[in-house]
Amino acid sequence: MEKESSVNKIPKWWMINDKGKRSVSVTFASISFAVTTLVYLAASFEKIGSITMRPFDVGACMAYFIPALSLYFGRRLTDTKYGVKDQQL
């Protein structure tokens, strides 16, 4: 019986894409969306308890969110264009 290589193990915390496979691009896009949304919601309040909030910085949020979103859609486009099949690792 062969031991499974640690290189081929996919972390259990990665989210599952539309094909039922674990995907790092879906995970990054989802986390960046959640963080950007939370920052936007927190910035809508001037003060929460003793914590004062800074104004919402659109540039900083887009600099964080756009690369993750580009990774996700770029990956989907590449898979569709070249007919790449997801490999089970």
Q: Which of 35, 21, 37, 25 is nearest to 67 (CA)?
A: 25
**pLDDT for res 4:** 53
| pLDDT mean for each 10 residues of the chain (89 residues) | 59 81 89 93 87 88 93 88 65
Rounded distance, CA 41 to CA 22, Å?
A: 29
Is residue 33 helix, strand or coil? Answer: helix
Rounded distance, CA 88 to CA 7, Å?
A: 13
